[in-house]
Each structure stands twice: as structure tokens, then as C-alpha cells.
């Protein structure tokens, strides 16, 4: 029970990595608030946790909306009285070069992947200070550390997340708020399948290519959830400002 008596707020927690993390955090003793734009997925995730004896609350929220963002934080405090862990997991991808991107698409990716995290941190950190600390986990990407093809806006946004994470860690370390980010490689989620459709590549071919890395497979949501648990728990009590790569060796090089 590594998160016993903790409360975790997870954005984009209705499916994929967010859902796997919510289920794992609840299993480790945390009360979990599931924020997602999809009510069916969010309610299903909360129901799964409760069916296994955990504590969960679903809040429909688009974290790019100030009203929705404040509501989900207020509801978390109202229900569980504290926020110890914030996992900024929600995000979007648009596979395109700068010549193919419209200005509106660029803004949507930057706002969805960077501005939303800044605003969530601004909303949550004051509550962490009342309980004398906390752990913030931001979802970055391997493509926040290295460039990738037809992903200009996505790479820019995830690179910004990496350095924003470091800056937040510097600003709030003395207040015992640790801030880290995860840099996954290709992970078996609906988002990965959306990439295949955006690129016009057959899904089977795209997924097979995603598995070509030293460990010989793509990641699972549970792989990333375990890394998030490490960063949320006391096991990482002296870790802040880091970008943790969880990619099966993809950035290390090809087998």
C-alpha cells in the first residue's frame, strides 16, 4: 500500500495509460479522482476501482477549460480533502510537418499538451502546500528528448513539458513538491492507433514497427503506470526535475 492515505488526481484517466495508472494507484491505497472528457470511459474506470474495494470519483473535465479545471479540483478537495499526487496525463497528438499544420492545429496541440499542464499545476500546487508537499507527474514523451518525423507540434509540446517540469521542480522543491515527467516510447493505446490513421498507415504495420526496439515489443499502459507509481511514491523521495524514459530502449538505439 505505497500510496495509503494519499489522494491522486489523474487527467485523461478514462482509458490507456491514465486508466492503468488510476487502477494501480487505487490498488496501492490512494483515493483516485478520474478526470476525463469521455463520461462512459471515466465512469467505467471509477466503477472498476470501486468494484475492487478502492475509492474513486469520476469528474467529466476538459482540462483546457478554466471552469472544468477548477470544478474538478474543488470536487477533489470536497470529496477527499486533499491532493497529494497530480498526474497530468491528458494530451493529444497531430502527426504532420509544419507545412501541413494549420495555425489552429498547432495551437490545439500546444494548448492541450503544455498550457493545460501549467494551468492544472497552478490550480493544484496551493492545495499541496497545505499538506506540506506532493508529487506532480507530467506526461512528456521520448519525442520530448529527440525529434521524430511528421510530429513538429507534438515534439515541440513535449520538449516544453520536459523543461517546464524542471523549472517547476526548481521553484517548488523547498516546499516539498516534487515534479517529474515520464517519457514513454510507443505504447499500446488508442492514441497510438490514431497516429496510424493520421499517417495513413495500416494499423498492423504501424504497430509492428512500434515493436522494433531493443526489448522487442511496444510498451503497455501498465508498464507506464508502474513508472508513474515510482514517481508518486516515497520510493522516489529524492527524485525531482527528472525526465524518466520508459521506452524499451528505443532512445538507446536499435537492436
Active site residue 118: no
The alpha carbon of residue 90 and the mean position of all alpha carbons in its chain are separated, in whole angstroms, by: 6
Q: What is the DSSP string of 7-49?
A: EEEEETTTSHHHHHHHHHHHHTT-EEEEEES-HHHHHHHHHHH
Closest by Cα among 19, 134, 18 to 83:
134
Handedness of CA 196, 197, 201, 204 (dihedral sign): positive
Helices (H), the chain: 16-27, 39-51, 66-80, 103-110, 116-130, 152-172, 190-199, 203-210, 221-232
Place of cell 490512494: 30
Place of cell 462512459: 40
CA distance 140 to 150: 17
CA distance 147 to 144: 7
80, 87, 143, 154: the active-site residue: 154
Query: What nine digits make up the cell of 181?
Result: 515527467
Question: Bridge-partner residues for 137, per DSSP?
Answer: 87, 180
Those residues with Cβ within 8 angstroms of residue 221's Cβ, 6 or more apart along the chain or in another chain: 16, 17, 19, 20, 21, 187, 188, 189
Query: Which residues are marked as active site?
Result: 154
Amino acid at each position: 500500500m505505497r500510496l495509503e492515505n494519499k489522494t491522486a488526481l489523474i487527467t485523461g484517466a478514462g482509458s490507456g495509460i491514465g486508466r492503468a495508472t488510476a487502477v494501480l494507484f487505487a490498488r496501492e491505497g490512494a483515493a483516485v479522482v478520474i478526470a476525463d472528457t469521455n463520461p462512459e470511459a471515466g465512469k467505467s474506470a471509477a466503477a472498476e476501482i470501486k468494484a475492487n474495494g478502492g475509492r474513486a470519483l469520476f469528474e467529466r473535465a476538459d482540462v483546457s477549460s478554466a471552469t472544468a479545471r477548477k470544478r474538478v479540483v474543488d470536487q477533489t478537495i470536497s470529496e477527499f480533502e486533499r491532493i497529494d499526487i497530480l498526474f497530468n496525463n491528458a494530451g493529444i497528438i497531430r502527426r504532420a510537418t509544419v507545412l501541413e499544420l494549420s495555425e489552429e492545429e498547432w495551437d490545439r496541440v500546444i494548448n492541450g499538451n503544455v498550457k493545460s499542464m501549467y494551468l492544472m499545476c497552478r490550480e493544484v500546487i496551493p492545495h499541496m502546500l497545505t499538506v506540506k508537499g506532493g508529487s506532480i507527474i507530467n506526461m512528456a514523451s521520448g519525442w520530448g528528448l529527440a525529434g521524430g518525423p511528421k510530429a513538429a507540434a507534438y515534439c515541440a509540446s513535449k520538449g516544453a513539458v520536459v523543461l517546464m517540469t524542471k523549472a517547476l521542480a526548481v521553484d517548488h522543491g523547498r516546499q516539498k513538491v516534487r515534479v517529474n515527467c515520464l517519457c514513454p516510447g510507443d505504447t499500446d493505446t488508442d492514441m497510438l492507433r490514431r497516429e496510424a490513421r493520421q499517417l495513413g498507415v495500416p494499423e498492423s504495420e504501424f504497430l509492428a514497427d512500434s515493436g522494433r526496439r531493443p526489448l522487442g515489443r511496444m510498451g503497455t499502459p501498465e508498464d507506464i503506470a508502474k513508472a508513474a507509481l515510482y514517481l508518486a511514491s516515497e520510493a522516489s523521495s529524492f527524485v525531482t526535475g527528472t525526465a524518466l524514459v520508459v521506452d524499451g530502449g528505443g532512445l538507446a538505439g536499435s537492436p
